[in-house]
Amino acid sequence: MKKRNSMSLYLRLFFLLTLVVLLSGLTMILGPASFSFKDLFFSSELDPFALNVLFELRLPRVFAAVFAGTALSVAGLSLQSVFRNPLAGPYVLGISSGASLGVALVLLAGFSFGSLGFFPAAALGAFAVTFLVLMFSRLFENSAMLLVVGLMISYIVDACITLLMHFSEAEALRSYVAWGMGSFSRLTVDGFLAFFIAVVLGLSFILFSMRYLNAVRLGDDFVKGLGLSVRLYQTLVLLGTSILTAATTVFCGPIAFLGLAVPHIAFALFKTSNHRILIPASILIGINLSLCVGLLPQIPLNAMMSLFGVPVVFWVLFSSRYKRKGDTYG
């Protein structure tokens, strides 16, 4: 019985991994610029145009989707666990908005961090919102209140961004709006390294808190009874999610939805509460979703994300998790 369970677990993870490879391949093949792959591989002369498209346009897009999918789904999963709320996510709690404000300050108001670009500003914005939300979470027992607080904070932050937009030049405004629609096509070679480091750093904070994540849904006293420091791990997880969210927001724009949706799909497919399984599962699902949505780079990412992702979530929700009688959700 147990053997078969772990077999099918690895099978499911392997299936998701295969899908990642397939979709990455598709991302490399499909695109507005067309050239013949036959010529590329079988002619003796290399076509510089084709190589350029492949390695400077499409490969960065694959990596952007992989990093963003990893970052946002892990951030979403961790936030839903820490706040014990199935609606939590980096976007809902205002963390993405915080990062956006940082970017807006650089793009619209001309604040500059020199060669470091947007990242410090976005990270500061994300941290600020995360810790505001955390402070409020200590005041309220009820985790629904927390979502209200998160939404209120994002309204204030969004209002600040609107004010910045109102008073800025047309050119700056255009680039900010384009950034806000989200895209996987903006990752440069320099950006690649920074994005990679941020994802590894954020992810390691969260992996280090695995024991906490596995127990936290049962309450803070329960966590303490297992010999874990609530304050230490809560801070680590929130730092990790802020880094992951800020990095994604900087390099791909504020991406809605992914962080909220992916954990639900992972719960439905793997039917476990163990983060040792949920984290890799969420990462693979998040990457697949990002790659799918990114297949049409001409369309703004956020529009595609919702058009494609919402039906998936509905399908998952209606086919499993909350369809139970007499079940109260903690």
Residues 6+ apart with CB under 8 A from 306: 256, 257
The verdict on 272 binding another protein (CB under 8 A) reads yes
The verdict on 214 binding another protein (CB under 8 A) reads yes
Residue of 160, 181, 201, 218 that binds another protein (CB under 8 A): 218
Q: Which stretch binds another protein (CB under 8 A): 40-48, 164-172, 194-202, 269-277?
A: 269-277
The verdict on 235 binding another protein (CB under 8 A) reads no
In whole angstroms, what is the distance from residue 161 CA to residue 103 CA?
10
In whole angstroms, what is the distance from residue 80 CA to residue 101 CA?
23
Nearer to another protein, 214 or 288 (CB): 214
Nearer to another protein, 115 or 328 (CB): 328
In whole angstroms, what is the distance from residue 115 CA to residue 329 CA?
48
Residue of 275, 290, 292, 295 that binds another protein (CB under 8 A): 275
The verdict on 226 binding another protein (CB under 8 A) reads yes
Cα separations (Å) of 243 from 83, 124, 197, 235, 329? Answer: 18, 9, 10, 12, 29
In whole angstroms, what is the distance from residue 233 CA to residue 237 CA?
6
Cα separations (Å) of 8 from 2, 122, 265? Answer: 10, 41, 17
Q: Which stretch binds another protein (CB under 8 A): 6-14, 190-198, 206-214, 256-264?
A: 206-214
- Tokens 């290399």: give the residue: 46
Radius of gyration of the chain (CA): 21
With b meaning 16 or more CB within 10 Å and e meaning fewer, what string describes 244-254?
Answer: bbbbbbbbbbb
**Tokens in use for 56?**
């400077």
| Total of chain residues touching another protein, rule CB under 8 A | 32
The verdict on 330 binding another protein (CB under 8 A) reads yes
The verdict on 219 binding another protein (CB under 8 A) reads yes
The verdict on 207 binding another protein (CB under 8 A) reads yes
The verdict on 210 binding another protein (CB under 8 A) reads yes
CB of 287 to another protein, least distance (A): 21
Q: Which stretch binds another protein (CB under 8 A): 167-175, 191-199, 223-231, 238-246?
A: 223-231
The verdict on 8 binding another protein (CB under 8 A) reads no
Strands (E), 21-107: none
Binding-residue pattern over the window 166 to 205 for another protein, x denoting contact by CB under 8 A? ----------------------------------------
The verdict on 228 binding another protein (CB under 8 A) reads yes
In whole angstroms, what is the distance from residue 54 CA to residue 249 CA?
24
The CA-based angle 330-221-214, given to 5 degrees, is 60
Binding-residue pattern over the window 289 to 328 for another protein, x denoting contact by CB under 8 A? --------------------------------x--x--x-
Residues that bind another protein (CB under 8 A): 1, 84, 207-211, 214-215, 217-219, 221-222, 224-229, 267, 271-276, 321, 324, 327, 329-330
